[in-house]
Homo-oligomer: A and B are copies of this chain.
């Protein structure tokens, strides 16, 4: 089964849209998904941005909210811009990195996005994340201990460096087995169709 890498950042509103639909879409196309948490902060800072472009460029930020409201409504999702925006997703991303190794990343990522963008919860709060871990059947203590380990911190840092090497500049991004890069929830259909058609050898 060919695999598509799904690069997401917890602060990213469009990543929320993709996280909620990617698994069903990929399964229908016989494509596997590698969930790849990374941090946009270092990539944005390398471009000279100290916050989200949606804050730096207010007209773009207002449009993004309306655009996502329309799409979320059409898909039966709730969307409310969190306050503050962007949320700090570092701890959540470290936990997701643990979950990638332990097999619970997909459920956890969806739970975090739902809490952040549908329920108005603060995903930088360890107590909120502990709730979400419990809700997806993961014991919080060992997960937090692993998330605080140098090995996991290094792995997330390395993932962000890999994202930069791959040419990623935003999220969500999708990388097919042959290296084709797709950016944005609106390219998810194309990314999956392309991956399904890639020869397995590549």
Taking CB atoms, residues of chain B closer than 8 Å to A170 are: 60
Give which listed residue, B70, B169, B182, contacts A60 with CB less than 8 A: B169
Tell me if A45 counts as interface (CB < 8 A to partner B): no
Counting every copy of the chain, the complex holds: 2
Interface residues of A in 61-96 (CB under 8 A from B): 62-63, 66-67, 70
Q: How many chain A residues have a CB neighbour from B under 8 Å?
A: 21
Is the pair B169, A57 in contact by a Cβ cutoff of 8 Å? yes
Is the pair B186, A186 in contact by a Cβ cutoff of 8 Å? yes
Can you list, as one digit per residue, whether each of A96-119 has a CB less than 8 Å from chain B (1) or not (0)?
A: 000000000000000000000000
Taking CB atoms, residues of chain B closer than 8 Å to A180 are: 66
Interfacial residues, chain A to chain B (CB-CB below 8 A): 47, 57, 59-60, 62-63, 66-67, 70, 167-170, 180-184, 186-187, 190
